[in-house]
Amino acid sequence: MPTSPPCSQPVKLLSVSAVEAFLAGTPFASRSITVLPGGTVNYLYRIQLLTPFEGSQTVVLKHAQPFWKSSMSTAWEVERQMFEVEAMTRIRPWLSSTLPVKVPKIHHFDAHNNVIIMEDCGADAVTLREFLCSGSASSTGLAETIGAAIGKFIALVHEWSRSNPDGILDVFEKSLQAKKTIACLNYDRIVATLQRADKDDLTVLSGFKVDPSDIQVISKLTDEYRSLLMSARIPGREVFLMGDLWHENILLNANEHPLRLYILDWELARIGLPGSEVGLFCAYTDLLGRANQVAYKPASVMLQNFIEAYSRISNRDMRLAQDTLVHWGINYVFWAPRGPPGDRKLVQDFVREGVEILVHFGDKDFLAQSSVKGLLPK
């Protein structure tokens, strides 16, 4: 692969023609190029190769710019790709071949031009969200398999990383941009969302009121978790996190046997509380299922099996359950008004439940009756 000399400006691959010219004369020279849908931050292309590469007719090219593709005024440094490649190349060879969860292989990384060329998950692959909402997931057996596989995968990653193998915690402690992004989404904007003082359009929360005393409790709580996130590593408590474990970043082909689940977009990989990752996946699964009648049953089954599989491997304790529940509530508050629920009453119900969680998560009886009771010590 040709790489621009360090003194040259990085390329801008913002169009099919630019990508075609960039790849000409390389092992990834294209027969045709398709812009891939989805993704708000990066530029994604499927490359139909002139000559098969490692037996494959296609690869995916991911290009980063120092801003969001969907919002060029939103800055995000391209160093995110370095952490993404580091995470994927560390996790992929470690995964057991018997586990349905996979990480795409990185074929080439051009750090100067901010280009990753990776294994293609297939033209028939869909996101987990699309799968759950399509009716194809009506088989509860498949939903059980998917939930258990993802729960087992992320629990294995968390527990494996605790001993800091090959310095993985040292490397991803430096992923400060990811930490700042999460701090903004998970902590800095929660009170503003509840007070409709955030920059986003929160008309859907019109008429929604939160008791001032609850606001004070939630403000203190989010400040504490933000401080934990940004402070020096806490030995024994923090683990390596994939960073963005939700349904848009999981691809599958339901007709493929054996089933394979591909985990994508590791740009937010960092160290942190395992409960923050578990809480995100749980909250979004619940949001999706309760907002979509088609997805309701498979999402419920998948969520149950995810928690059960995670709990069989993880270091179960009160702190894990509390951290998970807090982040379940945080993601209710932040994401419900911004999609996918849509319906005003349903959105406000989710936010109300989120507030209740954030105010009462420390109550042992509340915790024991909550959705995370399976994470408590036996």
Q: Tens of pLDDT along 220-244?
A: 999 999 999 999 888 888 999 999 9
Report yes or no on 2 lying in a domain: no
- Report if residue 301 sits inside a domain: yes
Cβ atoms of 158 and 277 within 8 Å: the answer is: yes
Whether 198 is in a domain gets the answer yes
Q: Are residues 195 and 343 in the same domain?
A: yes
Q: Are residues 83 and 175 in the same domain?
A: no
Cβ atoms < 10 Å from Cβ of 73: 6
Total number of domains constituting the chain: 2
Q: Which residue has the tokens 């490359």?
A: 47
Residues 164 and 279 in one domain: yes
Q: For 33, phi and psi rounded to 5 degrees?
A: -135, 135
pLDDT at residue 73 tops 90: no
Domain of 340? Answer: 126-375
> Which residue did the predictor score with more confidence, 156 or 7?
156
Give every CB contact of residue 212 below 8 A, 6+ residues apart in sequence.
Answer: none
Residue 1 lies in a domain: no
Q: Same domain for 95 and 166?
A: no
Q: Coil, strand, or helix at residue 36?
A: coil
177 and 295 both lie in a single domain: yes
Instruction: Indicate whether 308 pLDDT > 60.
Output: yes
The CATH number of the domain where 276 resides is what? 3.90.1200.10
**Residue 292: pLDDT over 80:** yes
Same domain, 133 and 251: yes
What pLDDT is stored for residue 205 in this prediction? Answer: 94
Q: How high is the pLDDT of residue 232?
A: 84
Q: Which residue has 């979509």 as its token pair?
A: 292
Which residue is associated with the tokens 């990753």?
Answer: 116
Same domain for 188 and 330, yes or no, is yes
Same structural domain, 271 and 336: yes
End-to-end CA distance of the chain: 54
Per-residue pLDDT band for 341 (boundaries 50, 70, 90) equals: low
Q: Which CATH number fits the domain that encloses residue 66?
A: 3.30.200.20
For residue 334, report the phi and psi dihedrals to the nearest 5 degrees.
Answer: -80, -45
Tokens of 370: 């909550």
Alpha carbons 120 and 123: distance in angstroms, whole number: 8
Pairing of strands 101-102, 106-110: unpaired
Same domain, yes or no, for 110 and 220? no
**Mean pLDDT over each residue of the chain, to the nearest integer:** 93
Q: Name the pLDDT band for 6 (thresholds 50, 70, 90).
A: low
Q: Are 315 and 331 within one domain?
A: yes
Output phi, psi for 142, to 5 deg.
-70, -40
